Structure 1
């Protein structure tokens, strides 16, 4: 038997036992097209079907090798999976105890035939020419942070606290100063002949960065990537990143995988935003993907934000990321105001009320609230117990003024309600959402425009005319010229959430809102005191992050240690935890917390936490991944015995930011 050409293939399969390369023989008629990186279809004999996959490598099979199945077809001759992207997916999957195919499902868009044909018929893009004047302007922006420009060009890992103010650029367009900073870093990188990848949480941030970039670089050098794009548009954008010409990619969390040519810079903006945390398996955060990518490629990494997360501060503390301070520090004018004992002024103190009235004479005022809707919480008038639905026990809410309460779960109106605690029959509104706040402020400030921005009424921008802009956290629109005052309400209510990182999150919400104020305008935080309020008032977010790390270290809570959440049936969970105790001897005695039963699961499922040092990441994730594969193989054998056989139930999620048993 003569030696035969083979292809080593990664299958697009969610089954953990198939997360490896398989050898397939390459028939002569597919030899020219079946090159590394192309999409192919292959037979999976164990399942008796045809599956999709990628060619990762080509090789030669020795004559004595076992018989191999042949490739079924080459889906497309376009190599859409560069070697660097597969290497990144493999590294991240191993780090997160997951599958490389799950990473690539996020990184490589689905094939769109028309978009692909149009791209192949088009001339390849040329290296963009950046105006020298734009480069000099970008360098001036970066030079406000000594050593920042040199660090980017040298490929360092950098952390920057972005300027917290709006900037008016040409055509009376206002963007955050942070967007101008990121655009300057990308411009300098592109001028050096290398690509830049900018990862932002949502389309609001993306729009600001693109607006700032269009003032500096050619339009054809910009590659927007986000979930709002149609399938063909997203696939066309991905094909552009595969070209040899450098570009600037701006997108949401999946943009961190963009295989841009000669990547010289990866930027992650506002890494504390939960939108940068991938909900799909294996759940790799965009910040962690950027860190692994930087280490593999040698590109620069810039992590920027108005606040400093404890994750980044830990990296700064151990010297893995270098903190870059500005030559001249700018801080918003934050004023802490106490709430009044008077019921009429319990939510907005008189001093804040006066400041808002004065600011409205010159421009818009931002009012940040904690919740959308009219009255998200309704309680018993007698005992203040939260009211529940008589049909499904869901919480009650009021959707508009004058309307009767209804259930948030089943949507039914409530008639004949009676409190289950004290038998009371009267209810009262216990909270004010964005709509009720807008209604109340409209009466308090007559003849003033009131603009609402929340999940149901999204706004990106407002003009510079006087108006009260009521927005939920994270939905604040940017105002042309900046807000003349920012009022932060419901801070005490936000801090009551049961979340390990709630103070860190509140500081981020407030800081991002404060950064929308025009320079010199007041930022009023009501009803909050303590360390988190002082951190906002003094604009010392990195110091607050260091204090949080010091508090969490004795408790072994993330990010001072890594945490894996393991879920499954009791036998599967016990087998996985037993493998950890047997194979990873360096784990401490208190490394495993639990297991406990997961409420509401039938049949019963259990959850346990595994806390481990960063140095033990590789053996712990390898052992947990092996346990997942063993459980999957056992489940497959069980299904052959009948429909009542056990199913694969073991799941692992590593680096959970807020573990909760």
Structure 2
């Protein structure tokens, strides 16, 4: 036991065995700087290494009976790890069978000394709080405001129409709704954290917030910012003033004084899924943080995700329908066997509407893929065309270009089909660039622009033009589009994924919401329940039916799934320990690469904590296992157990 001040430190390391608090003695020279939440350097007993970490707690004495090592140095005297962020990171990591330090690496940006010094020397003036925020439009009077004040969890159907702000800028109706909700929380001196899919949504939200919130109260964290700018914004969020923090998926971990509202916009978007370990979805992190902070939580989307639908049916999230607002006029068309000449795969009815609409303003054409011809097949047997050198897919990368391999770049000269010996190629998928070329010939007097991942557009003016955009890259148009054509629906549905129908409904709904009130939206080639859900604008009802189907099949989110990857013997031991839990069943294992196999563990939500704990225990056991080297042989690869809870890549 020691009577000296003790720092309990989380070491910044991906090793699972180090995911715990270690006690260090604070030397007198650092007593003034070693505060809770600061970055420190601490020694590790193995090899005399120095590692960085965070002081999570301070204590008068340690329960460790041996001699404590000293904190080596304090990296920064600014507490960057707030207590509420630590609680969130710890709980989210435990749920995902991961390390808290991995989450903190996502939540807290790297330190920049100059930015920190400038922030410490600057005088902070966050500006006044809103006095009388505008009512939140479109819902039952006072319903959303009362829910925010009561710390309620709500699912809001977004207003499906573009709106004009007082500044003259046009934004989606959802952006104004979120801005009004944030203003109500801020008026009570409570902070708001908003997570949106990408920077284009941030642009709209920031414009909407400017109507009712002082810009000094808005903190934007954006991956497009420079490192110093992002770190400075993070430090602003750690201050005691109530603010509105907006950003991408990592924003759910942002510090916020007196948090009163958490908003997740379009949670079904794949950009909300964190690719870095331990892979916690922003929706799950937001739910944990809401429960810890008792702040209100809003899920805002045009098309409700199946995960949120499950929470609504459980009564954990309350459904708040849209009582007053725009609803697109969606028209379902049957795919024509012979499209109108020059119509670029557009059926006759949609073709005529597009001709009339483009004379008045912008027309949006949504396509499945970027590029010119992103997929070629054999003209005789329709087998996908493969490179004779590396078996990569053959594509036409640009207009006027020749077919070549997407992997090695080898030109497809003297190509021959390996199935039927055919020698001719044909396009199986037409990309945005080729669609723009076809429309340019069909509409010779109209301007045609392309918006995709390589050439993203944020907005277009209210002038006659055809806007060809890949799914998710549609710019907002001033006044809304005069017509929207949703092409390649059948091709989008061909993707092999459990979520393909849900994703398509969301892509189409978001594009349809960009149409001007009363303007037609044509969904080409898709009917059935999915097309009907879009045409009637009843996405929540479709989500309920989809959830019931997944319950029958025991697919997520009716149950949870975890993927476990390891060598055969190690994997068998892990599955034996987790399989003993009630309600757990195992699919597999199947080989995935040399020496490694993958199994899928399926379990109910009630067993989640125990499954995560046991799988993490197996990962720690594998990481700490020591094997004797065999004389004359090189040491083999150390055993590994990779765990991904709620793996989004599972089919």
TM category (shorter chain) comes to: over 0.9
Alpha carbons of 1:168 and 1:63: their partners in 2 closer, same or farther (altered >3 Å)?
closer
Contact 2:136 2:145 in 1 (8 A): no
Which residue of structure 1 aligns with residue 590 of structure 2?
A: 596
Alpha carbons of 1:638 and 1:240: their partners in 2 closer, same or farther (altered >3 Å)?
farther
**How far apart, in 2, do the equivalents of 1:63 and 1:286 lie?**
36
User: Within 5 A, what are the aligned runs for 1:237-636?
Assistant: 237-328=233-324, 330-342=326-338, 344=341, 347-582=345-580, 584=581, 586-588=582-584, 591-598=585-592, 601-602=593-594, 604-634=595-625
Deviation at 1:378, TM superposition (A): 1.1
Indicate whether 1:129 and 2:125 are aligned.
Answer: no
SS at structure 1 position matched to 2:307: helix
**How far apart, in 1, do the equivalents of 2:83 and 2:426 lie?**
62
Contact 2:97 2:645 in 1 (8 A): yes
Deviation at 1:346, TM superposition (A): 8.1
Deviation at 1:63, TM superposition (A): 9.9
**How far apart, in 1, do the equivalents of 2:462 and 2:434 lie?**
24
Q: CA RMSD in A?
A: 1.7
Contact 1:131 1:216 in 2 (8 A): no
Deviation at 1:144, TM superposition (A): 4.9
**How far apart, in 2, do the equivalents of 1:318 and 1:401 lie?**
52
Note the alpha carbon deviations across 1:96-120, whole angstroms, 9 max, x for none.
0000000100001111100111111
Deviation at 1:639, TM superposition (A): 7.6
Alpha carbons of 1:656 and 1:638: their partners in 2 closer, same or farther (altered >3 Å)?
farther
Indicate whether 1:231 and 2:227 are aligned.
Answer: yes
Q: Which moved more, 1:152-161 or 1:570-579?
A: 570-579
**How far apart, in 2, do the equivalents of 1:463 and 1:494 lie?**
28
- TM-score, length basis structure 1: 0.95
Deviation at 1:33, TM superposition (A): 0.9
Deviation at 1:170, TM superposition (A): 2.5
**How far apart, in 2, do the equivalents of 1:460 and 1:639 lie?**
59
Structure 1 segments, 4+ long, off by >6 Å, are: 639-642
Which residue of structure 1 aligns with residue 57 of structure 2?
A: 57
Contact 1:501 1:658 in 2 (8 A): no
Aligned residues: 648
Alpha carbons of 1:2 and 1:307: their partners in 2 closer, same or farther (altered >3 Å)?
closer
Give unpaired runs (5+ residues) of structure 1. Answer: none
Indicate whether 1:80 and 2:80 are aligned.
Answer: yes
Which residue of structure 2 aligns with residue 118 of structure 1?
A: 118
Which residue of structure 2 aligns with residue 205 of structure 1?
A: 201
Deviation at 1:141, TM superposition (A): 2.4
Alpha carbons of 1:260 and 1:416: their partners in 2 closer, same or farther (altered >3 Å)?
same
Which residue of structure 2 aligns with residue 148 of structure 1?
A: 144
Indicate whether 1:161 and 2:157 are aligned.
Answer: yes
Deviation at 1:384, TM superposition (A): 1.8
Contact 1:172 1:480 in 2 (8 A): no
Note the alpha carbon deviations across 1:49-89, whole angstroms, 9 max, x for none.
10000011111236992111111001111111111111110
Alpha carbons of 1:71 and 1:619: their partners in 2 closer, same or farther (altered >3 Å)?
same
Deviation at 1:638, TM superposition (A): 5.8
**How far apart, in 1, do the equivalents of 2:650 and 2:63 lie?**
52
Deviation at 1:183, TM superposition (A): 0.3
Which residue of structure 2 aligns with residue 188 of structure 1?
A: 184
Which residue of structure 2 aligns with residue 15 of structure 1?
A: 15
Contact 1:194 1:262 in 2 (8 A): yes
**How far apart, in 1, do the equivalents of 2:636 and 2:170 lie?**
61
